[in-house]
């Protein structure tokens, strides 16, 4: 029987692995020496990144939008990358960053696409349409569901910081996911590294849900502050995502080895901060 997302990621955390490599594969930034069609070049690039980082990465997070930008070849290219991750790694789960959640048949199509066609282990969802929209995903108990809570973009506070009955909206989302949506124990939260104070508040209020933390690296999130906030409650149940800082550490023929070095540095830094907590 295939392992569930929770089983896969718990095994990675037991190994002390917390790096999530974000596969934001931008065809405009691929090394010039890669041959083939845009889709073939993206797949070749992603495969080399995965092979180089497989020993250190706890998970991979391909961003669906970069593959959708390839047009008709995009879905098959993304599926090929996910298949390669499953073959090439020591049970590293794949989180498709799709930010889905709709209603009725639209949702059923998304569930089938992400979990059956792509064979992803987890997905990111937005909460704005409520339980009706996320329920078909939640019912896939073997899959991981990461709900957007406090995102890493500069404009996140426009809605997420709104005062709702005395608390910011993002805290209501975190509490709702924990208390009402996590009935299959497959939910987590997306919380940006660019907001360490909010991250610390969420982790204190919700100490046990898995966290997916984007924003380290190119977006400027402070790694030490992020790790201290995420792990201070004593739970080491978090993935620290880096995308551009790993993928594009070099634009030359050494891109894969440079990516490995960047991922190694991130892993080493996380491990050091965790060791010094308390």
Q: What is the pLDDT along the chain (278 residues), one digit of tens a residue?
A: 578 999 999 999 999 999 999 999 999 999 999 999 999 999 999 999 999 999 999 999 999 999 999 999 999 999 999 999 999 998 999 999 999 998 877 888 899 999 999 999 999 999 999 999 999 999 999 999 999 999 988 898 899 989 998 999 999 999 999 999 999 999 999 999 888 999 999 998 998 899 999 978 655 568 888 888 888 766 678 999 999 999 999 999 999 999 999 999 999 999 999 888 86
Known catalytic membership, residue 99: yes
Q: What is the pTM of this model?
A: 0.95
Residues 6+ apart with CB under 8 A from 60: 20, 21, 22, 23, 50, 85, 89, 92, 93, 94, 95
Coil vs helix vs strand at 265 = helix
Instruction: Judge whether 108 and 136 are in contact, CB under 8 Å.
Output: yes
Q: What is the pLDDT of residue 218?
A: 59
Of 17, 61, 99, 143, catalytic: 99
Residues 6+ apart with CB under 8 A from 151: 160, 190, 192, 214
Instruction: Judge whether 189 and 147 are in contact, CB under 8 Å.
Output: yes
Q: Tokens at residue 129, please?
A: 């349409």
Q: What is the pLDDT of residue 154?
A: 87
Q: What is the pLDDT of residue 1?
A: 59
Cα–Cα distance measured from residue 21 to residue 4, given in angstroms and rounded to the nearest whole number: 20
Cα–Cα distance measured from residue 80 to residue 57, given in angstroms and rounded to the nearest whole number: 19
Q: Tokens at residue 106, please?
A: 């639209």
- Closest CA relative to residue 263, chosen from 13, 49, 43: 49
Element (H, E) at 173: helix 169-176
236-274 b/e (C-beta count within 10 Å ≥ 16 → b): ebbbbbbbebbbbbeeeeebbebbbbbbebbbebbeebb
5-275 folds as TIM Barrel (3.20.20)
């Amino acid at each position: 029987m295939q392992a569930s997302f929770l089983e896969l990621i718990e095994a990675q955390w037991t190994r002390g692995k917390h790096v999530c490599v974000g596969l934001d594969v931008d065809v405009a930034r691929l090394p010039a020496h890669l041959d083939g069609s845009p889709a073939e070049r993206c797949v070749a690039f992603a495969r080399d990144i995965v092979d180089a980082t497989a020993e250190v990465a706890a998970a991979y997070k391909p961003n669906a939008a970069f593959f959708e930008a390839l047009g008709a070849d995009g879905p098959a290219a993304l599926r090929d990358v996910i298949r390669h991750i499953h073959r090439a790694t020591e049970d590293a789960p794949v989180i498709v960053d799709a930010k889905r959640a709709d209603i009725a048949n639209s949702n059923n199509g998304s569930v089938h696409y992400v979990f059956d066609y792509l064979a992803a282990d987890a997905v990111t969802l937005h909460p704005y349409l409520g339980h009706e929209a996320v329920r078909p995903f939640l019912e896939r108990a073997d899959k991981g569901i990461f709900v957007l809570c406090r995102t890493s973009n500069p404009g996140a506070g426009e809605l997420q910081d709104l005062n709702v009955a005395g608390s910011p909206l993002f805290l209501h989302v975190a509490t709702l996911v924990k208390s009402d949506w996590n009935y299959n124990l497959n939910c987590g939260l997306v919380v940006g590294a660019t907001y360490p104070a909010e991250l610390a508040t969420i982790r204190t209020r919700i100490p046990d849900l898995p966290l997916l933390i984007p924003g380290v690296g190119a977006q400027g999130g402070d790694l030490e502050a992020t790790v201290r906030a995420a792990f201070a409650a004593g739970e080491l149940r978090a993935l620290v995502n880096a995308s551009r800082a790993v993928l594009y550490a070099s634009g030359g023929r050494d891109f894969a080895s440079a990516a490995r070095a960047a991922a190694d540095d991130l892993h080493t830094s996380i491990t050091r901060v965790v060791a010094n907590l308390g």
